[in-house]
Structure 1
């Protein structure tokens, strides 16, 4: 799996899926979440509202992921994940890693080949850029290693789930500024 970090706007990426650093309501917000909702158009909000009415009446839990269509984005899919909020005391690295692992599992289930991630939890949620970069890169590399082994399973905490038949070929961290890019470049080594 190719893993890279680039400076850019996640809403303009020509990939199969973009990951949204969503809030648990799934109804849009600031930062990456707001940008994705604006670029995708009102249909994204409508689908998210339907998810809230049907599958997620209490919202999307931290560390979990759920897909929607990409609508007006170049990406076919948006995979929403809710990062831990350090300002609320959610500082466990495993919880942050779960955002990346859960999103990749959804991507594999959708048979996605290319995925773009933002720096989940690095903005308003208060995680330091270097910590997010380290956790994100480690989580993606661990997923890639399991995918390459092709044993069909992954271990996340005490849960074992199917990695799926599809192979994710590329993960791109799309970062808004030079400081984030530097942190991810250092984590990628």
Structure 2
């Protein structure tokens, strides 16, 4: 090496299940392979330092060990919003129903009703709301936990792999106008955005 630092590539794959591909039939396994292959290419062929930011805990076993994996799933689970929803929708009703649930058949019926109502509130109210909030929540977590450890001055390319990663990619593009932020998965550091 001549003392120059290797270029850095940031791959944003917060939720690989929500692909940028217009074809909804793209299997999840294929999306993981695409992300892993792209990160591996930049490390092996281009000699770049690659950081992969994700909120998915699994599926990264075949990732090249030279790629720095930044997982946000634990920080997301500790965030006050999901915690508050779980407390209000599941824990508190369970505590309220628990003394009655021990009373035999009427208690068992009440417990089933509580379970059904809690699930319905979670699926029909919280999940649709959280689907819209999650990309911004993850962008904030990544900004606080990951971007402070990455020298953005050395970044040459940010690749946004899914819809959940768009808010963080947009923020990086606004903060660093000379940085290439793209959804194109071109395997070259010199490619146009």
Calculate the TM-score normalised by the size of structure 1. Answer: 0.34
Calculate the TM-score normalised by the size of structure 2. Answer: 0.34
> Which one has a bigger Cα radius of gyration?
2
Q: Name the one with the larger helix percent.
A: 2
